[in-house]
């Protein structure tokens, strides 16, 4: 069987669920927030289903225990402040790189592929997390969920990253784990790979419109021809 190969000069990678399993940290912060609000804790697997669209959406979902849940604005602001306080303490304490991430990043860099992170995680948490887990040096820069006016699934952060790289979108490969990554990459005109081990709000990645599903970043690297 012929394996399709993809030409790219750079790759932009999602963070939570693609590079790092951050749910243990997030679940600790969510449950500390819920405890202060007089609510029972949630299972880690339940919190995982709420991850992917940034801190505000996570707080909406985690407080209501509902994927579509929404809080009134004053309650959101109060709960978000609690979550951010606890997450600043937990960020990076238990997070671990998925199998093949460090090896895949090393191989991509050795190939001459330029790398950046585009995430919906707030900027204040992204830099420290990449540093604490030893991944920061692999990337030229990162774009956080509050760096710009819009975040994934809007294409703005992807196009912003492409512009910073000085490359047309078609030469930038996006790699993520969720519908947010797939929609943002498609709208930006980028090829996109998905990994099957992330969060994707509880849905199977095989339902996504992507160019390839890769078992790991090592697998992704084997499909790329650097141009």
Catalytic positions, written as ranges: 14
List helix spans (H) across the chain: 23-36, 44-49, 55-64, 73-90, 101-111, 123-132, 156-165, 179-188, 217-222
Rounded Cα gap, residues 194 and 205, in angstroms: 7
- CB contact set of 199 (below 8 Å; sequence gap of 6+): 16, 17, 23, 48, 49, 51, 52, 177, 178
Cβ atoms 223, 8 nearer than 8 A = no
- DSSP string spanning 98-160? PTTHHHHHHHHHHHT-EEEEE-SS-HHHHHHHHHHTT-GGG-S-EE-TTSSS--TTSSHHHHH
Q: How many C-beta atoms lie closer than 10 Å to residue 225's C-beta? A: 10
Going by DSSP bridges, is the β-strand pair 142-143/172-176 parallel, antiparallel, or unpaired?
Answer: unpaired
As given in the structure block, the two tokens for residue 172 are: 């930038």
As given in the structure block, the two tokens for residue 115 are: 């790398």
Beta bridge partners of 142: 117
């Amino acid at each position: 069987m012929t394996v399709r190969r993809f030409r790219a000069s750079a790759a932009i990678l999602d963070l939570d669920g693609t590079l790092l399993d951050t749910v243990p940290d997030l679940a600790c912060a969510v449950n500390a927030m819920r405890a202060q609000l007089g609510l029972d804790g949630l299972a880690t697997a339940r919190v995982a289903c709420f991850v992917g669209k940034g801190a505000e959406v996570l707080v909406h979902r985690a407080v209501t225990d509902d994927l579509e849940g929404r809080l009134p604005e004053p309650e959101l602001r109060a709960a978000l402040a609690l979550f951010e306080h606890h997450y600043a303490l937990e960020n990076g304490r238990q997070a671990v790189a998925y199998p093949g991430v460090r090896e895949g990043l090393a191989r991509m860099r050795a190939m001459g592929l330029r790398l950046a992170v585009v995430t919906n995680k707030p900027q204040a948490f992204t830099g420290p997390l990449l540093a604490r887990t030893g991944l920061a040096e692999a990337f030229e820069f990162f774009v956080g969920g509050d760096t710009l006016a819009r975040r994934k699934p809007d294409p703005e952060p992807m196009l912003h990253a492409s512009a910073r790289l000085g490359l047309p979108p078609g030469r930038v490969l996006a790699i993520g784990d969720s519908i947010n990554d797939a929609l943002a990459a498609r709208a930006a005109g980028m090829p996109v790979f998905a990994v099957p081990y992330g969060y994707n709000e509880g849905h199977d990645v095989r339902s996504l419109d992507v160019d390839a599903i890769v078992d790991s970043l090592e697998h992704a690297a084997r499909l790329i021809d650097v141009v």
